[in-house]
Amino acid sequence: MKKILIINRGEIAIRVAKAINELGHISVGLWTDNEPEAAHLEYCQQWVHLPGKNNTETYLNQEKILEIIEQYNVDAVHPGYGFLAENGEFVEKLEKKKVIFIGPNAKAIELMGDKAVSKKMAEKAGVPTIPGSVGEVDSVKEAKDIAKKIGYPVLLKAVAGGGGKGMRACFSEDELEKNFEAVKREALSSFSNDGLLVEKYILNPHHIEVQVLGDKQGNIYHLYERECSVQRRHQKIIEEAPSPFIGDDQALRKAICETAIKLAREVNYDSAGTVEFIMDEDRSFYFLEMNTRIQVEHPITEEVTGVDLLVNMIKVALNEPIDFQKQDDISLHGHAIECRICAEDPVTMLPAPGKISGISFTFPQGIRFDHCLYAGQEITPSFDPMIGKLVAKGLHRSACLSKMRSALKGLKIEGLKNNIPLHQKILSEKQFVSGIYSTKYIEEVKPQESLENENIFDKVVNIIAGEVNL
């Protein structure tokens, strides 16, 4: 029996606690001064106060967390995602204290955390990469030279980037010159690293990622792919498994999954992780980045493979046998879709914090809702606006779509704006229903605009009916 500290909050802390409890270990949850009634504590066997009123003072404060680890005799920590999940320096500090980190080794995090280094590792492993700079670009002149060689449009991208920050497309030399310093400033502000890459900008791409799991004996498995092409500002909104764009092309599915394993093997990967690719319209794919942690969208992979990723992550870290012995033990069954439920305006897609006055849900069979919500809860700007993950599974994609539409209709969150109406619009839109959509979907189809027009029409009707005072 191990005492495992969860250095995270919200729905992912609940998910981690459930896995810890299932395996018979002791789950330890943290609460902070700006979230004293944290919902995840209900699932934890021990509660510990992490003093501080913002993320810098709490979940990002390595020294405070290390003090708690020592004070409470913690054996292992699980970082969830975000915060310290991909911080190799923190992992090294844990190793010195002989505390187990439930995630990959520090070297793998370091190699994959820098986009310039990870691209070099991919090329070394024989993994196709997007044409562009091999390492950091030192000047706007060098960026222009590379752009001339590979052709416009190009993408300026922070080497330490993530979450859609530090990225900007340039369609001409003038745009490249105009944006170069601006992207460097954004990268420095967001990641304390202003290094940039210049890459060919793939038009109408599909964002396809492969879930991998490695153990301490050098075995690496894939758990097939997910499609994450519905995005706003390079941040995902809806994910599917398996990819509808790959569809029944089993040769392509095998190729991209085995390519992900090649990269994971190159860096001696030993936990759950995700290798992300960009796939163009002719189905050629290129390495994008590797996320060395559990992903927000991991539930859809669990639903279509039957593999509990969190449980097996913990087993790997504790050097215990995982739930399968060979790749053929893992197979796809059915289709799953995840909608990220966020406290944000469904039209502008900007955060909209507030207090939840009520919540209820009446779901059809086959629905999973990972959340941390309760009536009276204050959703603050301190944390990410994602407040839950709604997951539907069906025998095939059309059944899954039908279930998700019904689930969205049955989910009621009152008191603050949320993006449920946007999800409802997308799930019924013909291009999304067809399964052939790219990362340009939100930009080109603009489901949010039709939603805004409907809202304007409703207001006009209410005015005419005398239900709204001018």
Is the Cβ–Cβ distance between 111 and 117 less than 8 Å?
A: yes
User: Minimal CA–CA distance to 433: which of 470, 409, 397?
Assistant: 397
User: Tokens 């498995």 map to which residue?
Assistant: 221
Residue 416 has pLDDT above 70, yes or no: yes
Residue 234 has a pLDDT of 86
Which is the catalytic residue, given 293, 340, 368, 397?
293
DSSP helix/strand/coil, 158: strand
Instruction: Find the mean pLDDT for residues 272-277.
Output: 98
Domain boundaries, the chain: 3-102, 131-200, 206-454
Q: How many residues would you count in the chain?
A: 470
pLDDT over 70 (residue 48): yes
Cβ density class 72-92: b for 16+ within 10 Å, e for less: eebbbbbbbbbbbbbbbebbe
Active site residue 293: yes
The architecture (CATH level 2) of 131-200 comes to 2-Layer Sandwich (3.30)
What pLDDT sits at residue 271? 98
What is the spatial distance between Cα 293 and Cα 306, in angstroms, rounded to a whole number?
Answer: 19
Q: Quick one: tokens of 380?
A: 């603050």
Distance CA 100, CA 344 (A): 37
DSSP 163-186: TTEEEEEESSHHHHHHHHHHHHHH
If you write DSSP's letter for every residue of 337-377 in order, what string do you get? EEEEEESB-TTT--B--EE--EEEE---TTEEEEE---TT-
pLDDT given at position 241: 98
User: 320 is written with which tokens?
Assistant: 């215990």
Question: What is the pTM for the complete model shown?
Answer: 0.90
CATH 3.40.50.20 fits domain 3-102: yes
Token digits of residue 86: 């991909």
> Does the pLDDT at position 455 exceed 80?
no
User: Picking from 94-103, 111-120, 356-365, which range would have the lowest pLDDT averaged per residue?
Assistant: 111-120
pLDDT at 457 over 90: no
What is the percent of the chain where pLDDT is above 70? Answer: 96
Residue 190 confidence (pLDDT): 87
Q: What is the DSSP letter of 68?
A: H
pLDDT digits over 3-39, tens only? Answer: 999 999 999 999 999 999 999 999 999 999 999 889 9
pLDDT of residue 115: 85
Looking at 140-149, 186-195, 349-358, 405-414, which range is the least confident one? 186-195
Give the pLDDT confidence score for residue 459 in this predicted structure: 57
What angle, 0 to 180 degrees and rounded to 10, lies between the N-to-C axes of helices 420-428 and 447-464? 110
d(CA 350, CA 366): 30
Cβ neighbours for 290, distance < 8 A, ≥ 6 positions apart: 112, 118, 263, 264, 267, 273, 274, 275, 276
In this prediction, residues 38-46 reach a mean pLDDT of: 96
- Above 70 in pLDDT, residue 432? yes
> Residue 233: what pLDDT?
87
| Structural tokens at position 445 | 């189809």
* Structure tokens, 310: 């969190």
Chain-centroid distance of CA 270 in Å reads 19
CATH of segment(s) 206-454: 3.30.470.20
Q: What is the mean pLDDT of residues 447-467?
A: 70
At 224-255, the pLDDT tens digits run 999 999 999 889 999 999 999 999 999 999 99
Distance CA 317, CA 105 (A): 10
CB proximity list for 16: less than 8 A, separation 6 or greater = 6, 8, 27, 78, 80, 310
